[in-house]
């Protein structure tokens, strides 16, 4: 395991996509989840996951603070 810290993603609208990207010489999508408003996903970076892409309005909680994704209306 690369980083034991978790991030928490809380969807603020229906249809938020969370996409895991692989490590290595070729970065590829390896996992995808779709969250609806109010749903929460707990995730972490591993030996296989080097990045996450979050599409849609969500709040992301980590040891570094809270970040909002998506358009503000």
Edge-to-edge strands, sheet with 29-35 = 29-35, 16-22, 49-55
- Could you tell me if residue 71 is inside a domain? no
17-69: per-residue pLDDT in tens? Answer: 999 888 777 777 788 999 999 999 998 887 777 788 899 999 999 988 999 99
- pLDDT score at 4: 64
- Could you tell me if residue 1 is inside a domain? no
- Residue-range definition of the domain harbouring residue 16: 6-65
For the chain, helix, strand, coil in percent to 5 are: 0, 60, 40
- pLDDT score at 1: 45
CATH number at residue 51: 2.60.40.50
- Could you tell me if residue 72 is inside a domain? no
Which run of H or E residues covers position 61? strand 58-62
């Amino acid at each position: 395991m690369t980083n034991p810290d978790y991030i928490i993603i809380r969807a603020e609208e229906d249809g938020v996509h969370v996409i895991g990207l692989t490590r290595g010489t070729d970065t590829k999508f390896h996992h995808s989840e779709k969250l609806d408003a109010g749903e929460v996903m707990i995730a972490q970076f591993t030996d296989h996951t080097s990045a996450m892409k979050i599409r849609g309005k969500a709040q992301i909680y980590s040891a570094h603070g809270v970040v909002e994704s998506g358009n503000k209306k």
